[in-house]
Structure 1
Amino acid sequence: MILRSLLSPLERCLGVSGGGDVLMWHADLRSHASGDYSIAVVQANNNLEDQSQVFTSPIATYVGVYDGHGGPEASIFVNKHLFPFLHRFATEQGGLSADVIKKAFNATEEEFLHLVKQSFPLRPQIASVGSCCLVGAISNDVLYVANLGDSRVVLGRRASKDKKNMVVVERLSQDHNVGVEEVRKEVEALHPDDSHIVVYTRGVWRIKGIIQVSRSIGDVYLKKPEFYRDTMFRQLGNPVPLKRPVITSEPSILVRKLKPQDLFLIFASDGLWEQLSDEAAVNIVFKNPRTAIAKRLVSAALKEAAKKREMKYADIKKIEKGIRRHFHDDITVIVVYLDQHRDSCNYRVKQNVSGCTTAPVDIYSFNADEANR
């Protein structure tokens, strides 16, 4: 079946380290059914909160970027459970669809809620752990994009036949971040009786002064008031009392037929987009060789972060994890090239592309292990 390879052990999917930066990891170039893909990750937090994966089969490609907050538990959980749920529902319903993807997101959310309930007596803080979730799936020349939070996918497509040296930038996902006025109004409209549902604090807009994203997996205490009311949880801090859920796990879904002029997709956590515009990222991919292209994008973001602090890029690379979070966020980038669908008359599916690539759960530990072998 389409997603049979998704059940392979994740441990076999690891790639290569990042060379000069002990907190960088990348894998280049690997094949998928419609072309090549490249992946790179840089760690800033003490515990890497970004998790990511690419699964390939001869007839489909699946991409996941999961940006955790409050800890890595939710993003690691999504990395292990979302695609198997996707496989199960796609098998039951005879293929991919928006409904299949929604069911997989909902099942992942429910399973994580079950984990939180089990763990809560010993680890009440797990109720405040969550993850953004960005998924792309390509099957039969159709692209599906599902998104929770503010990770983002951007398309680069050729402008026109007479402008072959130009690229058009198209954002394919919506940032569910209340820093975006449209999202802020959406949240306010859902809570007409609460004039303080979104407040400006610590330099940004936040729901109840707590969280920027309006959709996620996890963050159970913002969805289930009974967790907030629990004495053990309240001892951890002083969150604002909630009458009802203030964020949701309902993904935005885009379904798009791929076109001959579509060249590549950039999937990335918000760590990249905090440093680079959509246009800057797309132009880097368009104007440079494919080899190590995801790593090139991460490096460009780090150079921009260094520039903001009037530092050199080499100095950023010397900063330890944890402390480094003051300079930039965890950054995950996956670049997916779109080749085969552009020549439908001679379309031939690649036969030897089954497999997976999963970034290490912790880049620093992975590179340390590699160095000690």
Structure 2
Amino acid sequence: MAAREILHKMKEKVGLRSSEPDSGKGKSKMSRRVTHGYHLVKGRSYHAMEDFVVAEFKQVDSNELGLFAIFDGHAGHNVPNYLRSHLFENILKEPDFWKDPENAVRRAYSVTDSSILEKSGELGRGGSTAVTAILMNCQKLVIANIGDSRAVLCKKGLAKQLSEDHEPHTESEDIKNRGGFVSKFPGDVPRVDGRLAVSRAFGDKSLKKHLSSEPHVTVELVQDDVEFLILASDGLWKVMSNQEAVNTIKDIKDARASAKRLTEEALNRKSTDDISCIVVKFQ
């Protein structure tokens, strides 16, 4: 193992992230057509990189699962790092995962959030958004999210959003009913209690009474017209529409090159946030 790789592993062990771009790729053993690639770029903020990803194919008995996720942390990297290590593990522990994956994912999100809150002394006051995709035997996608990271599917060249952006101004009544408020002060972005720019998140113990951790969950069959899936943090979606993202990579065959191209385009469009992107190619 090269010295650079050893240093990277040591940083990961203690929760530190390099400011250098992080890339990777993989492919399904069940279908040679299905591949994935990811690319992360740190934003211009002074804090360390707070985005974490999961991108892997996993054999479970005679089944194959593609596990893909982006965790976009705020006020620290501990919560997204915890999610990277535990969320899928908790989902797969649910006894009815194979029969009812939608409800299994909902319960696992709730269990994981409760664990994070219980460990707040260790993990700190921060939180994280999440978008997760589980590809079951290359035939079915189970998408879930809380916050503003997003999942977008390309079908016959057209973008289809599979997740739901959870923003304070769209859920202001729910926040008020929990005793909170939505304010643009300071600045010009609506925030829960003037502090958090998303209405749903893992963690954030000090705001939890006014936040939701209920995920939006959807199931999509992978049919012949499905070309690729994009998962990305809001560092991409702040500067690019769903269709623009699809158009940017529709002619690129390699999944990792596609993910890298999207992060480059977001930087070209002056995105200043951390940018994380996973692309799963089906053709």
TM-score by length of 2: 0.84
Change in 2 beyond 3 A, CA 1:284/1:249: same
Where does residue 135 of structure 2 map in the other structure?
A: 138
Matched, 1:206 2:171: no
Change in 2 beyond 3 A, CA 1:136/1:272: same
The answer to whether the 8 Å contact 1:149/1:214 transfers is yes
Q: State the SS of the aligned residue for 1:191.
A: helix
Matched, 1:169 2:163: no
- Which of 273, 276, 286 is 2:240 aligned to? 276
Q: State the SS of the aligned residue for 1:145.
A: strand
Matched, 1:87 2:92: yes
The answer to whether the 8 Å contact 2:229/2:281 transfers is yes
Deviation at 1:288, TM superposition (A): 2.3
- In 1: Cα distance, 2:35 partner to 2:231 partner: 14
Letter in 2 for 1:73: N
Letter in 2 for 1:31: K
Residues 213-228 of structure 1: pairs in structure 2 closer than 5 A: 213-223=198-208
- Which of 104, 113, 125 is 2:108 aligned to? 104
Where does residue 31 of structure 1 map in the other structure?
A: 27
Change in 2 beyond 3 A, CA 1:193/1:83: closer
Residues 323-338 of structure 1: pairs in structure 2 closer than 5 A: 328-338=272-282
Deviation at 1:192, TM superposition (A): 4.8
Letter in 2 for 1:41: L
1:199-227 Cα shifts (integer Å, max 9, x gaps): 2220111122111111110001111xxxx
Q: Which has the higher strand share?
A: 2
1:170-224 Cα shifts (integer Å, max 9, x gaps): 1111110125xxx2xx331453596x7112220111122111111110001111x
Q: State the SS of the aligned residue for 2:160.
A: strand
Whichever of the two has the greater Rg, that structure is: 1
Change in 2 beyond 3 A, CA 1:246/1:263: same
User: Any runs of at least 4 consecutive aligned residues in structure 1 with deviations exceeding 3 A, and if so which?
Assistant: none
Deviation at 1:299, TM superposition (A): 0.7
- In 2: Cα distance, 1:263 partner to 1:156 partner: 6
- In 2: Cα distance, 1:132 partner to 1:289 partner: 29
Deviation at 1:301, TM superposition (A): 0.8
Deviation at 1:106, TM superposition (A): 1.3
1:71-115 Cα shifts (integer Å, max 9, x gaps): 1111111111111112211xx226261111112111211111121
Letter in 1 for 2:154: G
Q: State the SS of the aligned residue for 1:250.
A: coil
Deviation at 1:259, TM superposition (A): 2.1
Where does residue 154 of structure 2 map in the other structure?
A: 156
- In 2: Cα distance, 1:93 partner to 1:143 partner: 16
Matched, 1:57 2:61: no
Letter in 2 for 1:70: A
1:298-357 Cα shifts (integer Å, max 9, x gaps): 11111111xxxxxxxxxxxxxxxxxxxxx6111100000124xxxxxxxxxxxxxxxxxx
- In 1: Cα distance, 2:76 partner to 2:164 partner: 24
1:216-243 Cα shifts (integer Å, max 9, x gaps): 10001111xxxxxxxxxxxxxxxxxxxx
Q: State the SS of the aligned residue for 1:37.
A: strand
- In 2: Cα distance, 1:334 partner to 1:147 partner: 15
Letter in 2 for 1:204: V
1:21-59 Cα shifts (integer Å, max 9, x gaps): 96212124x202450111000012431100001121352
Q: State the SS of the aligned residue for 1:104.
A: helix
- In 2: Cα distance, 1:192 partner to 1:38 partner: 41
The answer to whether the 8 Å contact 1:27/1:292 transfers is no
- In 1: Cα distance, 2:116 partner to 2:202 partner: 8
- Which of 299, 303, 310 is 2:268 aligned to? 303
- In 1: Cα distance, 2:246 partner to 2:267 partner: 16
Q: RMSD of aligned C-alpha atoms?
A: 2.3
Where does residue 5 of structure 2 map in the other structure?
A: none
> How much identity, in percent, do the aligned residues show?
29
Where does residue 231 of structure 2 map in the other structure?
A: 267
The answer to whether the 8 Å contact 2:65/2:135 transfers is yes
Unpaired stretches in structure 1, ≥5 consecutive residues = 1-10, 15-20, 159-166, 224-244, 306-326, 340-373
TM-score by length of 1: 0.64
Q: State the SS of the aligned residue for 1:294.
A: helix
- In 2: Cα distance, 1:193 partner to 1:272 partner: 31
The answer to whether the 8 Å contact 1:66/1:134 transfers is yes
Q: State the SS of the aligned residue for 1:177.
A: coil
